[in-house]
Structure 1
């Protein structure tokens, strides 16, 4: 694996970018909170038809400002291939490798205003971030509560609760076209995590198939395919602060649509060993191909 280069950016630009992001968030946050309160006051069915679309529009405009900044101030060079299936009246199950918070902005670059607003699986702890956390809640982002092995040893009755929450959250998406985004690795790649896991992949952590399987089962046949996204940073993996400072200059993205076996939408992933193995084997094959693709891109840009 090629060693990442040291990314260089402007600390001054980082401060200006932070202020711009803060002001953009505070401005739209006022409108957001207004409609969140309205949503809480209205009956659920009425709120779904009135407040929810406005909340989605506010989030879309907020994201549009950020994407304008990335494209016109940072002037990132994009190399994108395979982005073919687009449309706001379809359901999307999107999977990508995870290396940095910047990945989220890359995915919005690909899909913002081209498909239904992306819904990420979010760690429960992040729901407490001011404005943004409440926006995620109002937009029905699925929140995941990860329990440690130590906690589960003391509270075995909690085992499987995170998957149940995933399934419950995804069931909400059956009513309107939705784009569900899942990072199969469950956490950002670092060499330390890679070594600790003894991952068999050179560029990836081990995938966790459970969340993906539950999303497929919750939405049945709504998903026509899995959208498999590979993100590669030729100049090294940028941090969020690197991006804010303008050090994020190039990004390569490859997109592939992969058929989801019909049997995955039925059955019981958690209690059916054969189904579980079939899903895990399918995910492993996807990950092997992604790892090879990362290796080829690494060779292409650093040979």
Structure 2
């Protein structure tokens, strides 16, 4: 089929999938608000996660119908869909989200992403992410914080509060450490020391560890490479993304980094940053080898 026709079909299936599952999700959310019994609310919360998992499987379904999916996906043995994981990945395109969901569905618990506060305004999807307790992060500029010092640490407190909710149901907490999608302009502006990555931000990850460090089984480290260039979401829907490589590695969390005061303990913060730096150096090396 011509790319335009493929894109229209894929977009239609994507929209139908969203509307069906979000309608069911919001119905369950309404029930949880009007029923005051904690035990029943807990059951409804698990049902909502089940709805979200079905949504992900249906996404994979329409992708298989409309995309050429002979992708190179490399997975480790032994991932537990009933456990808790912290997932890190490089970030280049909105396509990354669908790739992560497709790759880890049925192998790891449902993915919950750290999202920018502005995304709560996205029609339909913003409400769905909110209903599923995705953590929305509001980042403040240095200039703003100088005028409003009381707002320092507010985004990290949001991280801690969100992670407290994740203790009830097995969850994969996804944090894009770069904080934004990679582009050559951002890379140049940052003067990033990495060839294929932006600088990682470890604060949100550290606070998640502080809240749930003993509960996380390990790190799921995902490296995504697009051999033919980074696709836009519309490119993907049109079937123009012919190839991609997704490498998934399970890595241990150092015991000394599972708990600590990232904000006030200089030694802990330095050790945590060095660990994240090493993760990013290894990822940059992997991307360099894939690009060669």
- TM-score, structure 2 length as denominator? 0.95
**Does residue 153 of the first structure (1) align with residue 118 of the second (2)?**
no
SS of equivalent residue, structure 1 residue 140: coil
Output the CA distance in 1 between the equivalents of 2:46 and 2:217: 24
Aligned-CA RMSD value: 1.5
Matches within 5 A, 1:173-184: 173-184=166-177
Structure-1-length-normalised TM-score: 0.91
Q: Distance in 2 between matches of 1:135 and 1:268?
A: 33
Structure 1 position 144 matched with structure 2 position 126: no
2:122 is the counterpart of 1:129: yes
1:257 aligned onto 2:257: no
Aligned counterpart for 2:34 among listed residues 36, 41, 49: 41
Give structure 2 stretches of 5+ with no counterpart: none
Residues 1:207 and 2:208 aligned together: no
Query: For the residues of structure 2 that align with 1:142 and 1:43, how far apart are their CA atoms?
Result: 24
**Alpha-carbon deviation of 1:27?**
2.2
Counterpart of 1:60? 53
Which is worse superposed, 283-292 or 111-120?
Answer: 111-120
**1:187 pairs with 2:186:** no
- Indicate the residue corresponding to 1:80 in structure 2: 73
The 4+ residue runs of structure 1 with deviation greater than 6 A are none
| Contact kept in structure 2, 1:76 and 1:251, CA below 8 Å | no
Distance 1:47 1:196, change over 3 A: farther
CA–CA distance in structure 2, aligned partners of residues 281 and 85 of structure 1: 27
Which is further off, 93-102 or 82-91?
A: 82-91
1:213-262 CA-to-partner distances (Å, cap 9, x unmatched) read 11111102111221111110111111111111111221111122222111
Q: Does 2:210 match 1:221?
A: no
Aligned length: 291
Q: Could you tell which deviates more after superposition, 83-92 or 44-53? A: 44-53
> Given that residues 213 and 258 in structure 2 are in contact (C-alpha distance below 8 angstroms), is that contact kept between their aligned partners in structure 1?
yes
Matched residue, 1:5: none
**Secondary structure, aligned partner of 1:192:** helix
Residue 159 of structure 2 corresponds to residue 166 of structure 1:
yes
Q: Distance in 1 between matches of 2:122 and 2:36?
A: 26
The structural deviation recorded for 1:47 is 4.7
Structure 1: stretches of 5+ with no match in the other structure: 1-8
Contact 1:95 1:226 in 2 (8 A): yes
